[in-house]
Amino acid sequence: MKKILIIMVISIFITAIIPIILLIKYGKYEAPKPEEPEAEETISVYIKNEDKVVNMKKNQYLKEVVSAEMPATFSEEALKAQAVAARSYLESRKNAYKISGTPNVHKGADVCTDFTHCKAWVSEENRRSSWGKDADKFWEKISKAVDETDGEVITYNGEVISAVFHSTSSGKTENSKDVWGGDRPYLVSVDSPGDKVSPKYKSEKELSLSEFCEIAKNNIKGVDFTKEIIGKITRSDAGGILTISIGKVTIKGTKLREIYGLRSTNAEIKVDKDKVKFDVKGYGHGVGMSQYGANYLASKGKDYKEILKTYYKGVDITKLKKEEN
Ligand SMILES: [Zn+2]
């Protein structure tokens, strides 16, 4: 009986007391953790219509940009080209702001949702509701374009480029120098044959002569219509208006586009008695990748790298190095 009692006491000591002693001596025991997946990079986004800055996962932001910038019905290779261009644009902005500070419109954010300043953006929730029954299929397609090109950017001489893009060119893209000044050797005029079949290729705008003159008077200082309505026009290689004389005052083509709300600067203007008619080719600033042109090239069997190298000259597609924190 005594023997059994001794064995019991020893067993209790081994199973219960020893671990407690060890725990007190060596502190809390922790099981080895499974390796955590690398935290996804976040960026700060200024949402203009809500006037607030939010942090978003980078790839989620890019998916939302692609879904806002390009129809989900476009080819997968065109969507991938769009994803890489949008990622490159984002990285080049971030690099530029590191040096010069973020502009006032951004409230310190990496990027904003004003498409005239950065890129178009729509939340996944809003985009899904606009897609209706196709929401899952389309979101999956766009997600794939971003995920399969994860980390890929366009570089020129090792620097991530400002990969601007537009809807539809006039059949030829514009030199960035002609539109914004400054020389960007990778943003030069190239042929974009697919644009001629884009539904956005042609547009018209007609105003009465008095409306035309009124808009000019309100936006251009010193116009005088007693001597001239429209005078000398200079054009880029692609046919976009560089300068135009209206009422004896010369303005830039970009200003003409802005004040008359034209789809591009590539316009023919006819003054006919009491009417002014604009025949416009293309949609957007015309610089860099044409989205409809990209989709056309994809339909001809080009992959996203070939598409990007068509629109951005002398570039490489490379994997972004992870930032060292
Ligand atoms: Zn912006």
Tell me the per-residue pLDDT of 62-75, one tens digit each, with 9 for 90 and over: 999 999 999 999 99
Query: How many A from CA of 51 to the centre of ligand 1?
Result: 13
Ligand 1 center from residue 136 Cα (angstroms):
29
Q: Is residue 16 part of a domain?
A: no
Cβ atoms within 10 Å of 317's Cβ, excluding its own: 18
C-beta separation of 195 from 292 below 8 A: yes
154 with 48, same domain: the answer is yes
Q: Which domain holds residue 69?
A: 42-196+286-319
Q: What is the pLDDT of residues 112-150, one digit of tens each?
A: 998 888 889 999 999 999 999 999 999 999 999 999 999
Measure 119 CA to ligand 1 centroid, in angstroms. 7
Q: Is 149 domain-assigned?
A: yes
Amino acid at 156: Y
Rounded CA-CA distance 248/226 in Å is 9
> If you measure from the C-alpha of residue 111 to the centroid of ligand 1, how many angstroms do you get, rounded to a whole number?
5
The Å distance, Cα 76 to ligand 1 centre, comes to 27
Query: What is the predicted pLDDT for the residue at 7?
Result: 60
- Please, which residues have CB within 8 angstroms of residue 135's CB and are 6 or more apart in sequence? 127, 128, 129
User: Is 163 found in the same domain as 46?
Assistant: yes
Residue 325 binned pLDDT confidence (cut-offs 50, 70, 90): very low
Residues 49 and 189 in one domain: yes
d(Cα 34, Cα 106) in Å, to the nearest integer?
Answer: 39
Q: 121: CA distance to ligand 1 center in Å?
A: 11
Query: What string of H, E and C letters represents the secondary structure of 8-65?
Result: HHHHHHHHHHHHHHHHHHHCCCCCCCCCCCCCCCEEEEEEHHHCEEEEEEHHHHHHHH
pLDDT tens digits, one per residue of 25-40: 555 555 555 555 567 7
Specify whether 254 is located in the same domain as 169: no
Q: Classify residue 262: in a domain, yes or no.
A: yes
pLDDT of residue 324: 44
**How far, in Å, is the centroid of ligand 1 from the Cα of 83?**
18
Tell whether 233 is covered by a domain. yes
Q: What is the pLDDT of residues 1-26, one digit of tens each?
A: 566 656 655 565 566 655 555 455 55
Residue 17 placed within a domain:
no
pLDDT (mean) for 84-111: 88
Distance 196 CA to ligand 1 centre (A): 30
Do 189 and 307 fall within a single domain?
Answer: yes
CA gap 7, 211 in Å, rounded: 107
Dihedral class, residue 182 (left if φ above 0, else alpha if ψ from -120 to 50, else beta): left
Distance CA 103, CA 87 (A): 19
Q: Are residues 138 and 74 in the same domain?
A: yes
Decide if 12 is inside a domain: no
Structurally, the chain folds into a number of domains equal to 2
Please, are residues 311 and 172 in contact by the beta-carbon 8 Å criterion? no
Return the structure tokens found at 97.
């702001």
**For residues 48 and 113, is the Cβ–Cβ distance under 8 A?**
yes
In this structure, the answer to whether residues 49 and 164 fall within a common structural domain is: yes
**Percent above pLDDT 70 for the chain:** 87
Q: Is residue 211 located within the same domain as residue 309?
A: no
pLDDT band (50, 70, 90) for residue 320: confident
Same domain, 81 and 166: yes
What confidence score (pLDDT) does residue 20 get? 52
Q: Identify whether residues 183 and 303 lie together within a single domain.
A: yes
The pLDDT of 193-214, averaged and rounded, is: 96
Ligand 1 geometric centre to CA of 90 (Å): 10
Percent of the chain with pLDDT over 90: 76
Phi then psi for residue 245, to 5 deg, are -95, 120
Three-state DSSP string of the chain: CHHHHHHHHHHHHHHHHHHHHHHHHHCCCCCCCCCCCCCCCEEEEEEHHHCEEEEEEHHHHHHHHHHHHCCCCCCHHHHHHHHHHHHHHHHHHHHHHHHHCCCHHHCCCCEECCCCCCCCCCCHHHHHHHHHHHHHHHHHHHHHHHHCCCCEEEEECCEECCCCEECECCCECECHHHHHCCCCCCCCCCECHHHHHCCCCEEEEEEEHHHHHHHHHHHCCCCCCCCCCEEEEEECCCCCEEEEEECCEEEEHHHHHHHHCCCCCCEEEEEECCEEEEEEECECCCECEEHHHHHHHHHCCCCHHHHHHHHCCCCEEEECCCCCC
Q: 106 falls in which pLDDT band (50, 70, 90)?
A: confident
Mean predicted confidence (pLDDT) in 45-61 = 94
**CA 223 to ligand 1 center in whole angstroms:** 33
24 within domain boundaries: no
| Residue 34 placed within a domain | no
The answer on pLDDT for 180 being more than 80 is yes
Distance 285 CA to ligand 1 centre (A): 17
Q: How far is CA 229 from the centre of its chain?
A: 38
Q: State the average pLDDT for the chain.
A: 90
Mean pLDDT of 308-318: 98
Q: Distance between CA atoms of 214 and 216, rounded to whole angstroms?
A: 5
Cα(86) to ligand 1 centroid in Å equals 13
In sign, the C-alpha dihedral spanning 101, 107, 112, 115 is negative
| Å from CA of 29 to ligand 1 middle | 50
Same domain, 182 and 260: no
Q: Do 188 and 214 belong together in one domain?
A: no
Ligand 1 centroid to residue 140 C-alpha, Å: 27
- What are the tens digits of pLDDT across the range 227-252? 899 999 999 999 999 999 999 999 99
Centre of ligand 1 to C-alpha 96, Å, is 12
